[in-house]
Every structure is written in C-alpha cells, then in structure tokens.
Chains A and B, each alone.
Chain A
Amino acid sequence: MLILRSLALSLLLTLPVQAESLRDWVDALGAADAQEKRELLEQIAASGDEISDRVFDAFARGGLYLDRRNSSVVIAQRDGARYLLRDVLTGEDLGSAGRRDVRRIAIDNNLRSELQSLQSIARLSSNDEQQRGAAIAEILAAPTDTALKALAARESLEPVPYLQEQIAIGLALQALAGSDPATIQAALLTLRGRVDPVVRASLVTLGDRDDLPEMIRNEAARLLFLAENRLLWLSRLESLFFGLSLGSVLLLSAVGLAITFGVMGVINMAHGELIMLGAYTTWVLQQMLPGQPGIALLLAIPAAFLVSAAVGLVIERGVIRFLYGRPLETLLATFGISLILQQAVRSIFSPLNRSVLTPEWLSGAWEVTQGLSLTYNRMAILVFSLMVFAGLLALMRYTRLGLQVRAVAQNRAMARALGVRSARVDALTFALGSGVAGVAGVALSQLTNVGPNLGQAYIIDSFLVVVFGGVGNLWGTLVAAFSLGVANKVLEPATGAVLAKILLLVALILFLQRRPQGLFPRLGREDSN
C-alpha cells in the first residue's frame, strides 16, 4: 500500500512536468523545418520517456498530423474521407477531422533513418534482451558516430556474452578508422569472418590507406578476399534455394493439372483461374477475420480446396463430360470458361488487385549464417508444396478413390466392367485436381498479386511442367518442377531473367523432340485406347 502510494505520488510529481515539455516539443514539430525537427526529435528521445517510442513509430510511418484548427500535433489515420484523430501522448480519442483540417507532418528517408538511429540508441539500454540485440544489429547495419559512441558506452554494461561480441564488432569497426596500427590489428582480428557490407567497405578503405604499415594493408586485403570468397559460395547456395523455391511454386501450380491433364487427359485451360479462386478465397477469409491474417490463411487452405473443387465439379459436370475424347473442343471450351471466370471476378471484386496480408510469422527472413538468409514465406511454401504432393500421392496410392482413378486411367472399359462408376470417378478426379489448384492459390497469394489475371501467369508454366515430367506421372511432375526451377535460377544470374526463360524453353523443346513422352512416361488413357 505504501509502495503504491509513493508510486502514485512520484508519478504525480514527475509526469506533468515531463508531459508538459514533451507536448511542447511534439507540438513544435508541426511548424518545424527539417533541421528543427531533428533537434526536437533528439530532445524527445533524450527525455527517455516510453511515450517517445510511440511518437517515433507514428512519425516514421507518416501518422503524425498537424490539426490546423488548434495548431496541435495529433496521431491521425485516414478512414474513408475523414481522419480519425488520437492524442499523441495519451492515445485518447479526439474525434475526427476533414481533409482540409489536418496536414501531415512531412517526413523523409533522412529523417526516418535519424529516427531509427535514435530509437536504436534508446533501445540499447532496454531490459529486453531481444530488443537490445535488434538495436545493436540496426546500429551495425548503418553505423553513425553517435550510435557507435553509444555502443561503446554500453560495452561494459552488457551482461549477455553473445551481445558483447556484437558490440565488440561495432567497436572494432570504429577502431579501423583510427590510426594506431596495434589497435587496427586487434580490430581486424575481431572482424575475421564477417561479411557485412559495412565491414567490407571499411576493409576496402583500409587497404587503400598509405599511412598504415604494409602488413596491415595486406591483412585487410586478405580478409577482404576471404569475405568475398565466402560470399560467392553463399550466393551459390542461395541460388540453389531460390531454385528450389521457384520449383515449389511450379509444383504447387502444376500438381493439380498433373491430375486433370496428366491422369484424366483433359486439357483444362481454366486451371489458372481455379488457382485464382483459391487466392480470392484467402482474401475473403481475411476480410471476414479482420486482425487475424494468420488464422485466416490457415483456414483458407481447406476453404480454397472446397471452393475450387466445387467450381471444378460444376465445370466437369456442366461442360467437360460432354467433350471427353475431343481434346480440341475441350481446349476451346475451357479457355472460354477461363475468360468467364476472370470477368466474373472482375465484376464481383473489381478489376483492382486485392491486398492479401502476410501474417507476422511468414514475413522476414531466417539468417542461417552471416550473409545467407532464407525468407520465411518461401521456406513455408517449399514445405507446404511437398506436403500437398505427399498427400496427393498417398491419396492416389492408398485410398479407394485413388485406386479407381488409376483403374479408369489405365483401362476405362475394364474398370467399368469391374463395376467402377467411371462417370462419378471422372467428376471426383476433376474436382480433386481443381481443389489442389485452389490450395496452390492460397500459397501464391503470399507471393504475388491477387487479381483477375493471377491464373494466366501460371497456366503456361503448369502445362510445361506436366508435359516435361511425363503426362500421367506425379513423380515426374515433382522432378520436372524442381529441375526447371533450379535450372532457371542457376541460369538467371548469368543470362538475365528474360534470356534464362528463353534458353529453358528452347532446351525443353529440344528435349521433347527427343522424348515426346517426357521424363517419366506412363501409360495413360490415350495410350490404352
């Protein structure tokens, strides 16, 4: 009780004074020029108040406005034609204002990096280990003199060994700019194995400095060579990952087609639009669950499967079943369906792209080692594509439906004679392939635009993968997707994206000339007829 009371008392004593000056500084931002803003920000940061963090965050993303009616500075957010205002310090709701009543307080990248640097310095003394780590990393990425000084001041206070090492790197960087050979030598020892751009840049300057002994310059050159060499290898590894990731996207978009086209022999030009429907399902779910993009994304996987499968079922029952054995007509009819679906989406959702959010846990990258980081969304899609593939494989191999599908594909007449209702199997197979396309759409919504044209970008590639892998073979699709992906990404750095694509297409044409059945030929329905 006593503690509480004294706490309240101290709050009462300190808060008004601080809040008053803080508010003055914040309000002064409204009329300040760039230099004055900088000084005000330093003052606000020096106050050490937690509120400064909120002010900085709002300012950095352009959310600080001058309320012209009373010249105060507020946090505002656009809501339709109005702006919702909140108090900067207390977060209190201040009602709304029209477009003419508020003016955004200008911010640019220079000021923004100043803000970041001030925030990092403030976070250096945070109680949260992670926050401190992030702050040190930010300072190392863009070191300024003030930030490095703050880092030096922090050196003796930092309890966590791993962060101590990080600080030592910052100090070594600072030491490189000095003139004492012994200190530089020691700093170089600390920096061995680092490949950050800042370290490499200072190694380059060091190598050009005439005032230093030959030995140090040679050492700098050697370290630079080692760093470059390491980077070269890492970039090769990176290319491999990029290739696998592209392969996983190809696999996802093609695996549904591997069933409808590969197993059933239906040339479905509307396959891309089934992918698109899956992506739109994700968007709709995210709209229905505001603030929960991650849960919506997970729910979208089964939902998109059902939506696309249902549409696929309607297409099969309504159109395709009348056209079996007439590939040209099927092609034209499904092409027409694809146009209808695109225009339908345009009419229902508008021709503009929809913004599908990426959940927190899928954004950013995992730093495997210094100089090599893999993005989370790509890794997730790689794993997801393999899971979908495995699931589909298991379904074809171990379930009754899978058995029937294979039976009908191999010999329709015989399967029917054995009591398989081939029309029902056709419908279910097509729905399955379509549903998988929908699932692919959920994954693609994390990588690319969700718009009416989403499907068109993937339809050609999907056909390529299936034909290359061998029509009617799921494993062929897997191998084809990953080899096309990796080949593309290995070629790309050397040839550029346009030429890489052309070269791959030429290679594919030549390959198909030699082996029209693709990589892994298998008897499908056409062959048995």
Chain B
Amino acid sequence: MNLYLRKFFAPSGTHCLTVGLLLCLASFNARSQDLQPIKVGVLHSLSGTMAISETTLKDTVLMLVEQQNARGGLLGRLLEAVVVDPASDWPLFAEKARELLVREKVDVVFGCWTSVSRKSVLPVFEELNGLLFYPVQYEGEESSRNVFYTGAAPNQQAIPAVDYLMSQGVQRWVLAGTDYVYPRTTNKILQAYLEQKGVANEDILVNYTPFGHSDWQSIVAEIKRFGSTGAKTAVVSTVNGDANVPFYKELANQGVSATEIPVIAFSVGEEELSGIDTAPLVGHLAAWNYFMSVEDDANFDFIDQWLAFIGDDDRVTNDPMEAHYIGFNMWAKAVEAAGSTDSNAVQDAIVGVSVPNLSGGMATMQANHHITKPVLIGEILDDGQFQVVWQTPETVAGDAWSDYLPGSRDLVADWRAPLRCGNYQQQEKRCLADGGD
C-alpha cells in the first residue's frame, strides 16, 4: 500500500467529506473499537549473547507501559506490551519485527541493540511503515523515516569525549575497538577529527580485535609501550560487550592505572560494571548521556521506580534505559498531540516534541529523528558507579551524518515537509534514496 492510499484509508473524520459515506461508516467502526488497547511492541533479545544487555531494556519498557496505564493510558485507551524474543539472531530480528507489525499489529516498537540488528529490521519497518525507537548509541550515517534514534550519535559521545581528554593534556591516542561496523565508523570519524586538530599520524594507534576477544596480553603490552614515550596517552575504547572484562582485567594486572593511561569507553556502563570486580578500574572513564549517579530529582524518582518495579535493590540504571524513558515519553506526547497512534500522524507530530530527560534538562526530537542530549564524562568508582567529571554546558543535537567523513559531510536529514528526506545532498540539491547507507 503506498503512502497516498494509506492516508486515504486512514480512519479520520476529516476524510469523510471526500471519501463518502461508505468509508465513513468504516471509520466509525474503527472508532467503536478504540477501547482496544494500544499495542507496544518490545523487540529485545531475551536469550543468546545480547540478552545480557537487552533483557534490562525489555523490563524498562514494561515498567514505562505499566506507569502510563497507571496514569490512565493514552487517548483514553490502555497500553499493552507485546514482548517477542529475537534471540540475538539478526535474521530473526527481521522476522520478529514483521510478526509484531503484521500479526500483532503493534502501534510502536521499542527495540534492538546492535547496529546489525537495526540494519536487519530497517527494511521491514520501512516497508510496513512501522515506528521503531532505537535506544543505543551508534555510529550514525543513517536516518530513516520510521526509526527514532534516542541513543547518542558519534557527535554526542565520541567527539566530546576526545575533546575532554584533549583538555586533560592527552597527546597520543590509542583507538581500540572490536572489528565491526560501529567501532570502524566511529574510529574513522575520530581519526579524521584528531587529524583536523593537528594530531600527527604516528601519535594515533588503531587496533581492532575479533568479537569476544579474551587474550589481551599483547595488546595491553603494546598500549603500554605506545604510552611510554613521556607524552600523555589515552585509550579510546569501542571494544564491545563481553570482551571488555578481560581487557580491563589485563590492564589492571599489567599495572596500567587510570592516572597513567586512562581508558575512555563508549559501551561500558553501570550494567556492564556490575559483572566486574571494579576496584582495579577506578578512574577509567566512560562517555554517556546519562549516569545513574546523576544528582537530579527526576533521576532519583526513576531509580526508585525501577528498583520497586524490578524488586531488587542492587540493580542499576543505565544510559539506554534513559533513552527508552525519553523515547517512550516522546512517543506518548506525540500520540496525544496527533490524537492517534497512526504511524504517519505520529511521525509528523513527534518532530519538535520536548520531554524532560533524567539529568535535569530537556530532550527534543529533531527533524533528523535524532534527539538533543547532554554529554557526560564519568570516571569509574569502586562501587561500580560513575563520578561525573565533565559535562557539556548545553545539550548537543544528534547529527545523523558526520561532518568529519567525506561523502557524509554534505548530507542532511529532514523528515519534515517539504523535504521529507533522510539523506539530502546539499551540493546537488537532491534526495539520494530512502533509508541509510
């Protein structure tokens, strides 16, 4: 069904005059069913490798749905969560997304963690015109009509992190990452950024390791050697998931302390630290847009609600949870503004919507479907929490297309009328194609 037809059949009173009585009756039929619950799809892995991170997000969405229902739901209807398990299997993500949209007819989906899972569901959401809220920091270079990126783009995490380290006198840089799309793209952006800032090529060491790498001895030794020239050295780590623990353990055992060679990570948060003995990691850094230790009443409330919901006082909150919190509230506000859960209506209504974040500021959905976020740099403490040591004075707007990559520099995404394009080439003044890449 193309866009025109879909709008045509949309169950809304304004079309009655043009469409005629028959469809109007159908539309009234639809209204009488309005007391049916609004369905919220949850597409997070509950088994397999990614379950470690994604299970928490499933629980977060369930909590948000429960809270919304306690407030009386949306548009006078209750919300109902539909949970599926894509089992950390990328093709299964696409299947489950289709199942949610076609069989369950959900109105919105909160889901995905890895970029590859997002790439795998992207065509499904575009084909069926669904809504996906994606809560994890990612490499950018994408903007879809159907996806709302509530995690950080590289300019909301990686670049401010490098700026902070530069202000601390770091001159030599190790860019260490796992060998896949997010670290490779992020490191490409960072390398271009560092070169632009006048860092010489021999002062940058790029290192990639396979997924789940567990033997870090030689790499840590190399980092030590690289950092022993007298110039202050830092490691920018895009090492993913489980490989972090043996990496940090090896750093500690070889005596690399945070005061000598600090490691700043983009995928290590409170949840990951809860599985590590953090004593040797004190002082290493992470860049996020939210930390559990942020001292703000909104955050205290959120933590209290989360601990009560999950029934375990030792659980932690983390950045992607805040992203879901923001995304969910934005969606709810847009639905109320649009007066409908219809995909097109929500897409139009959500741009410009502002909701409070958990660090005392506001998050606004932009025309490129990314949001504004503050950037926080935190240092790991003994109790697995972070001490915020620096933060951007204002929120930073997420940039879908990096300014530091050739080819992507001239692209902008704007999903408002009249442009309605995810990759508009400013030089050639034309929209390249649908979707990302």
A: which residues have CB within 8 A of B? 60-63, 77-78, 80-81, 99-100, 103-104, 106-110, 112-113, 116, 141-142, 197-198, 200-202, 204, 231, 235, 238-239, 242, 245-246, 249, 343, 346, 351-358, 363-365, 373, 375-378, 447-453, 456-457, 488-489, 492-493, 496-498, 501
Contacts and interface: CB of A to CB of B under 8 A. Distances in A.
Contact of B242 (A142, A201, A235, A353): A353
Nearest to B303: A99
Contact of A353 (B55, B209, B245, B283): B245
A354 B259 CA distance: 27
Nearest to B262: A109
A355 B255 contact: no
A121 to B, nearest CB: 16
A373 B246 contact: no
B52 A351 contact: yes
B204 to A, nearest CB: 15
A99 B293 CA distance: 10
A453 B242 contact: yes
Nearest to B242: A449
Given A104-B387, A109-B258, A204-B230, 15 more contacts: A63-B382, A81-B303, A100-B300, A103-B295, A108-B387, A108-B389, A109-B283, A113-B259, A142-B259, A235-B225, A352-B274, A358-B249, A375-B250, A451-B242, A492-B218
B246 A246 contact: no
Interface in B199-249: 207-210, 212-215, 217-219, 221-222, 225, 227-230, 242, 245-246, 249
A61 B214 contact: no
Most buried by B among A100, A108, A116: A108
Contacts of B245: 353, 448-449
Contacts of A364: 253, 255
B280 A363 contact: yes
Nearest to A485: B215
B214 A457 contact: yes
Contact of B222 (A200, A246, A452, A493): A493
Given A449-B246, A492-B218, A493-B222, A498 B209 contact: yes
A365 B255 contact: yes
A425 B284 CA distance: 52
B355 interface: no
Contacts of B385: 62, 78
A450 B379 CA distance: 24
Interface of B: 46-47, 49, 51-52, 55, 168, 179, 207-210, 212-215, 217-219, 221-222, 225, 227-230, 242, 245-246, 249-250, 252-255, 258-260, 262, 271-272, 274-277, 279-280, 282-283, 293, 295, 297, 300, 303-304, 307, 313-314, 379, 381-383, 385, 387-389
Nearest to A491: B218
Contacts of B227: 197
A292 to B, nearest CB: 15
Contacts of B293: 104
Contact of B230 (A81, A198, A363, A373): A198
A60 B257 CA distance: 13
Contacts of B49: 453, 456
Nearest to B47: A343
Given A99-B300, A351-B55, A355-B275, A106 B387 contact: yes
Contact of A116 (B259, B272, B303): B259
B214 A448 contact: yes
A358 B214 CA distance: 16
14 contacts: A62-B382, A78-B385, A81-B303, A103-B295, A106-B388, A231-B225, A246-B217, A352-B274, A353-B242, A353-B275, A376-B253, A448-B242, A457-B214, A498-B208
Contacts of B215: 242, 245-246, 249, 488
Contacts of A62: 282, 381-383, 385, 387
Contacts of B207: 496-497
A80 B314 contact: yes
Contacts of B272: 353
A242 B214 CA distance: 13
Nearest to A141: B260
Nearest to A354: B275
B246 A447 contact: yes
B283 A351 contact: no
Contacts of A373: 254-255
A196 B293 CA distance: 38
B181 to A, nearest CB: 14
Contacts of A343: 47
B219 to A, nearest CB: 7
A203 B168 CA distance: 24
Most buried by B among A110, A238, A352: A352
Nearest to B313: A80
A293 B131 CA distance: 49
A232 to B, nearest CB: 10
A108 B387 CA distance: 8
Contacts of B382: 61-63
B389 A106 contact: yes
Contacts of B217: 242, 245-246, 375, 378, 489
A255 to B, nearest CB: 18
Nearest to A239: B218
B304 A81 contact: yes
Contacts of B303: 81, 99
A461 B255 CA distance: 29
Contact of B52 (A99, A242, A353): A353
A142 B274 CA distance: 31
Contacts of B280: 363
A197 B381 CA distance: 27
A448 B247 CA distance: 9
B318 to A, nearest CB: 12
A201 to B, nearest CB: 3
Contacts of B218: 239, 242, 489, 492-493, 497
A52 to B, nearest CB: 19
A246 B47 CA distance: 30
- Which 4 residue pairs across A and B have the least CB separation, nearest first? A201-B230, A353-B275, A80-B313, A62-B381
Contact of A346 (B51, B168, B258, B304): B51
Nearest to A60: B282
A448 B276 CA distance: 10
A112 B389 CA distance: 12
Contacts of B283: 109, 112
B383 A77 contact: yes
B229 A197 contact: yes
A100 B262 CA distance: 31
Given A351-B55, A365-B254, A109 B221 contact: no
Contacts of A447: 214, 246, 249
A142 B260 contact: yes
B47 A346 contact: yes
A109 B378 CA distance: 11
A363 B210 contact: no
A378 to B, nearest CB: 7
Given A238-B221, A242-B218, A492-B218, A201 B52 contact: no
A60 B46 CA distance: 38
B354 to A, nearest CB: 26
A103 B388 CA distance: 12
Contacts of B258: 109, 112
A201 B277 contact: no
Nearest to A293: B277
B210 A497 contact: yes
A355 B379 CA distance: 20
Contacts of B260: 141-142
B101 to A, nearest CB: 26
A116 B303 CA distance: 34
B242 A81 contact: no
Contacts of A355: 274-277
Nearest to A457: B212
Given A108-B389, A142-B260, A497 B242 contact: no
Contact of B275 (A100, A200, A352, A375): A352
